[in-house]
Amino acid sequence: MARQRVTRQQFFDEVFHGRVPRDENGEIRITRVRVPGREVDLAHVMGTSARRTCETLGLDIGTHEGEDHTGEALGFMRFTPWEAVVVAADIAVKHGSVELGFMDRFNGSLILCGQIAEIESAEQEILDYFDHELDFHVCKMTRR
């Protein structure tokens, strides 16, 4: 039996009220389909970072081994389609004095490191470019 597409809210209502169809073993089977849009769905700037935060994010390993980003601001962005993160990273490093802390072209994630004003400026430049030049749906930048 083919199941109709449900909204997230409908799914949660069914799960929390015990009405989710189960297979013969009593397990729930979920098929998640992701249709890449053209959007920037996260643009957040986090002020001064703690050493533990940087370690948890892996900003002290790999190509960044030995670097200490403690006290720097961090910028987080997420893109679909995922490959758009490469364009965003290029804009960020050319626009200001920021470093690429992490970039994942398979999931569209970007972490920028640097001074808070530089991170905010780079993220705003990225949002403007994706909005006006590439016609993406962009979220507003948040800061904490």
In the chain, the amino acid numbered 109 is S
Decide if 27 is inside a domain: no
Domains contained in the chain, number: 1
What would the pLDDT profile of 107-141 be if each residue is shown by its tens digit? 899 999 999 999 999 999 999 999 999 999 999 99
Which tokens go with 101?
């802390």
Average pLDDT over residues 25-40: 75
Decide if 8 is inside a domain: no
> Rounded to whole angstroms, how far apart are CA atoms 134 and 112?
21
Its domain, for residue 70, covers: 39-143
Question: Of the given ranges (15-19, 46-50, 63-67, 92-96), which has the lowest mean pLDDT?
Answer: 63-67
Decide if 26 is inside a domain: no
- pLDDT score of 79: 95
Q: What is the mean pLDDT of the chain?
A: 85
Residue 70, domain CATH: 3.30.70.1710
Decide if 30 is inside a domain: no
Cβ neighbour number for residue 28 with a 10 Å cutoff:
10
Decide if 132 is inside a domain: yes
What would the pLDDT profile of 72-83 be if each residue is shown by its tens digit? 899 999 999 989
pLDDT band, residue 54 (cuts 50/70/90): confident
- pLDDT score of 130: 97
The residue with greater pLDDT, 16 or 33, is 16
Decide if 65 is inside a domain: yes
pLDDT higher than 80, residue 65: no
Decide if 4 is inside a domain: no
- pLDDT score of 85: 96
The residue with greater pLDDT, 8 or 134, is 134
Decide if 1 is inside a domain: no
